[in-house]
Amino acid sequence: MKDVVLSRISDHSAAVAVIGMGYVGLPLAVAFAEHGFRVVGVDVDARKVALLNAGESYVEDISSTRLAPLVAAGAFRAIAGYDVLSQCDAVIICVPTPLGKTHDPDMRYVIAAGKSVAQHIHPGMLVVLESTTYPGTTDELLRPLLERGGLVAGKDFFLAFSPERIDPGRTDYVVENTPKVVGGLTPVCCEVAVALYSQAIQTVVPVSSTQTAEMVKLLENTFRAVNIALVNEVAIMCDKLGLDVWEVIDAAATKPYGFARFTPGPGVGGHCIPLDPHYLSWKLKTLNYTARFIQLAGEINSEMPRHWVTKVQDALNDAGKAVKGSRILVLGVAYKKDVGDVRESPALDIIELLRGKGALVSYHDPYVPAISHNGYGLVGEPDLAQAIAVADCVLVVTDHSAYDWPAIHRQAKLLVDTRRTSDGGDSPQRTQRTQRG
């Protein structure tokens, strides 16, 4: 059975299905299609399926000009049902794994996908889970779903986990040139999964188990969350010490080894960093262990919006104004620069806190036309200069490259900067600091 599937992989006759046509699944599907495989993209959203089959991409990393030829050539097609899986040799699951309100993993999409695959699983099929999740998911949750029909994982079909490392908008590292970690339920499962990914991805890194592969991803993003929290706390300490945290970081970053540069900010947004570490702490809680770094990082990072609202309050106070009734312009609401994603963005918390204090809050963000959060909605200011002119205080939250920062600093009556835009924006390689104005 293994030799059959390996030969179908090596001669590209294997049919590959990717479940979940999002920012992870579509680039992966396109990569396999561009490397000679017939790929079917499965998604429950019929609108997405129709767009994809019309050669139209809604995922920023995949242009329609790149997708359309693959559709025309029959190398890629999308479908809203699961029946097609019966003819597939490999099925890769890329569905969301959100967190519930109490930071518990919400596995409904993985469970639904697992049940659907189970209805069409056949001997020799390779099933891979890519969704970020707690260690043990593939073996403890997905495997029993797939074995319901009587086939045995590792014996009748192959099962593996491989974490996604897609960073939307990044162009230097894409699917093909980002090393891919793969962990199999058994060594043979790993061998088959490595063989498949090696067809489309330059470097494939086998590890000893699915749990190891699941843990690798969580370490990667917990590493970021904890280091961002550290540098946020250093920013608070420097503030109390009357030091310029940016100068401290720039100088520390001249150390050519043993230091990783992170920058302070308004808090941590996005759908990875604020959430992924809680998958790990949730799992460890079931084992009666408290992941203290993750807990502390979450506390510090989620405290940053309140820290910055206090800075605005102090700045207005020094100008003899109360927050209540003051017009505050938030510059940038996306969770990080040069993207339009507002998921978990600290800007939303900051706006809510300021509104709670009676401020008249508006925002401008070239990537985000409108926002709605916890029952309020705001439309972005159309005219930046006009918005700055009428603002009692400008609060920089997202340091989009598109902004003319020196002009903004000149024009604002009062400006509070959660990033570093005073000298044209944060450029990590800068070591010589222009004297702050």
Q: How far is the CB of 307 from ligand SAJ (least distance, A)?
A: 13
Instruction: Give yes or no for residue 185 binding ligand SAJ (CB under 6 A).
Output: no
Window contacting ligand SAJ (CB under 6 A); options: 51-59, 162-170, 180-188, 313-321: 162-170
* 3-state class (DSSP) for residue 163: coil
Task: Identify which of 420, 395, 436 has the alpha carbon closest to the alpha carbon of residue 312.
Answer: 395
Q: Which is nearer to ligand SAJ, 132 or 422 (CB)?
A: 132
Contact 142, 159 (CB under 8 A): yes
Q: Give just the sign of the alpha carbon dihedral 133, 129, 228, 401.
A: negative
Instruction: Give yes or no for residue 273 binding ligand SAJ (CB under 6 A).
Output: yes
Q: How far is the CB of 163 from ligand SAJ (least distance, A)?
A: 8
Q: How far is the CB of 208 from ligand SAJ (least distance, A)?
A: 22
Q: Which is nearer to ligand SAJ, 297 or 354 (CB)?
A: 297
Q: Which is nearer to ligand SAJ, 59 or 153 (CB)?
A: 59
Return d(Cα 290, Cα 360) in angstroms, integer: 41
Q: Which is nearer to ligand SAJ, 206 or 265 (CB)?
A: 265
Q: Which is nearer to ligand SAJ, 25 or 265 (CB)?
A: 265
Q: What are phi and psi of 406, to 5 degrees?
A: -55, -40
Return d(Cα 113, Cα 104) in angstroms, integer: 19
Residues in the interface with ligand SAJ (CB under 6 A) total 18
Instruction: Give yes or no for residue 166 binding ligand SAJ (CB under 6 A).
Output: yes
Question: Which positions from 333 through 392 interact with ligand SAJ, judged by CB under 6 A?
Answer: 335-336
The pattern of x and - marking residues 9 through 48 that bind ligand SAJ according to CB under 6 A reads: ----------------------------------------
Cβ burial of 240 (10 Å; 0-12, 13-18, 19+) is: exposed
SS3 content of the chain, % helix, strand, coil (to 5): 40, 15, 45
Q: Which is nearer to ligand SAJ, 56 or 247 (CB)?
A: 247
Return d(Cα 267, Cα 336) in angstroms, integer: 10
* 3-state class (DSSP) for residue 58: coil
Q: How far is the CB of 250 from ligand SAJ (least distance, A)?
A: 13
Specify the pairing of strand 370-373 against strand 376-379.
antiparallel
Q: How far is the CB of 68 from ligand SAJ (least distance, A)?
A: 26
Return d(Cα 76, Cα 28) in angstroms, integer: 11
Q: Which residue in 88, 190, 272, 393 is the catalytic one?
A: 272
Report the residue closest to ligand SAJ, judged by CB: 270
Q: Which is nearer to ligand SAJ, 167 or 423 (CB)?
A: 167
Cβ contacts of residue 243 below 8 Å, gap of 6+? none
In our burial notation (b when 16+ CB lie closer than 10 A, e otherwise), range 130-141 reads bbbbbbebbbeb
The pattern of x and - marking residues 249 through 268 that bind ligand SAJ according to CB under 6 A reads: -------------xx-x--x
Question: Which positions from 190 through 229 interact with ligand SAJ, judged by CB under 6 A?
Answer: 220-221, 224, 228
Cβ burial of 299 (10 Å; 0-12, 13-18, 19+) is: exposed
Question: Which positions from 407 through 436 interact with ligand SAJ, judged by CB under 6 A?
Answer: none
Q: How far is the CB of 74 from ligand SAJ (least distance, A)?
A: 30
Window contacting ligand SAJ (CB under 6 A); options: 49-57, 192-200, 270-278, 369-377: 270-278
Q: How far is the CB of 339 from ligand SAJ (least distance, A)?
A: 8
Contact 394, 388 (CB under 8 A): yes
Return d(Cα 179, Cα 159) in angstroms, integer: 20
Return d(Cα 67, Cα 99) in angstroms, integer: 31
Per CB under 6 A, the list member of 272, 342, 387, 395 interacting with ligand SAJ is: 272
Q: Which is nearer to ligand SAJ, 32 or 262 (CB)?
A: 262
Catalytic residue status for 272: yes
Specify the pairing of strand 90-93 against strand 15-19.
parallel
Q: How far is the CB of 273 from ligand SAJ (least distance, A)?
A: 4
Ramachandran assignment for 223, one of left (phi > 0), alpha (psi -120 to 50 degrees), beta (any other): alpha
Instruction: Give yes or no for residue 59 binding ligand SAJ (CB under 6 A).
Output: no
Instruction: Give yes or no for residue 8 binding ligand SAJ (CB under 6 A).
Output: no
Which residues are catalytically annotated? 272
Residues that bind ligand SAJ (CB under 6 A): 164-167, 220-221, 224, 228, 262-263, 265, 268-270, 272-273, 335-336
